[in-house]
Structure 1
Amino acid sequence: MFRTIELANELTWYSTHTSQDGNMRHPVDSPAWETIDDTWPCFASDPCNLRLGLAANGFNPFRNLSSTHSTWPVVLVTYNLPPWKCMSKENLMLTLLIPGPKQPGNDIDVYLQPLIDDLNELWRTGVEVYDASSNSTFNLKAILMWTINDFPAYGNLAGCCVKDRYVCPACGLKTCSERLKFSKKNVYLGHRRFLPMNHTLRKMNSWLNGAEETADKPRIISGKEVRLACEEVENDFGKKKKMGKERKI
């Protein structure tokens, strides 16, 4: 990307175009971008370092509703570029194309491993890159800011629970859920907890579940808490071999 003078200049566009009125027009104005700048100032000091997003999801390439074929593209988005270019198809990097006919499920880790290795190298040591705008080489680093996917794919990529009682990745064990007796399904309540304490909807018990909402919104779980909770979890990766039924003699 840095081999083209025009594109090399646009990859540092964000460094001089932050919002001045408090409105978010680009990821550079987001809290996530600010957190990266505050946490890793050495990385943020070089405007050429890349900020990436990873998008993954399955689709049916045959446009046939009777077919269950699922193909999974994995795309990297470069947020250094201006908003009218960072999402244009010529600037999206198709890093993986996982073929069907079935979705990879939790085995997507196997396909993602080479990409993860490359991203780790870009983050830890960087790579030497030629910059056409300055006619010189520099050490390019990159950081993965977030992933973009729907909720089921989020469970495969992040390893989070997306079923049963505690499905909210932010609330964790404080997820407000209830099991319906007759339909045998979980419903998720407690959305009024996120409203201000004096909001009128908190007191409208007859409209909702018949109870007034007095609880405060739960605290969002931090990444460190998630890591500590998963330290002692043992995973048995890979597909399990199905045992055939024993033949009766």
Structure 2
Amino acid sequence: MAVEMRLPKARKPFSDHVDGDGQRHLVVPGDTITTDPGFMRYNGEVGDIVVGRITEVQQKRWKVETNSRLDSVLLLSSMNLPGGELRRRSAEDELAMRDFLQEGDLISAEVQAVFSDGAVSLHTRSLKYGKLGQGVLAQVSPSLVKRQKTHFHDLPCGASVILGNNGFIWIYPTSEQKEEEVGGFIANLEPISMTDREVISRLRNCIMCLVSQKVMLYDTSILYCYEASLPHQIKDILKPEVMEEITMETRQRLMELEG
């Protein structure tokens, strides 16, 4: 009777099993599944401050991209009309919706409710929310945005930031006439000076620097990083050796602040 026999050989560890293109089929806790930030989507909570982009104008509502798995919703009834008016919405208001906000517009808003499927409903009833004007949008992981009492910050360097809980950060020139702001849909589209543009660009690169080193983003960390970056040109901030230097200085100052 013939007997089939096989010689023993060493087995590869499970973590080393790969397919033809070098991709692993098995992972264990601690393994990196993906580094693509698109897989880390925002899960909204009531009271969150978000920055979003209008993607569609629908009947009595706008759809808003907020870095979530599903688009968010801004109802016509959940916003201030131009001038901060609080009144019943009319048929004329519904017809004029695209005059208020249209596809591509950026807004700041607050999460009003979270639905069972994870989608969120927004509101802009406060005058501090509404359509955004001139500025720069930075997209980061929501996990790196520190939760604070306020997410609107006027920094001493001459620019302001809105730190959206959804990972969308808006950087813009600090307004000199806040008492005249009425919120809603009056966006300042005046040209920005070269000085302001340089400050905004430096802030944006500083935020990207902190993100690359996994430093939490809030007004103090961003300001310390900005000050640490001043000896360097804006374009050099994202060089690996410069990022490491200014991040180390930022961390040191934050540690000293915390005592």
* TM-score bracket for the superposition, by shorter chain length: under 0.3
**Structure 2 length as normaliser, TM-score?**
0.24
Q: TM-score, normalised by structure 1?
A: 0.25
Larger strand fraction of residues: 2
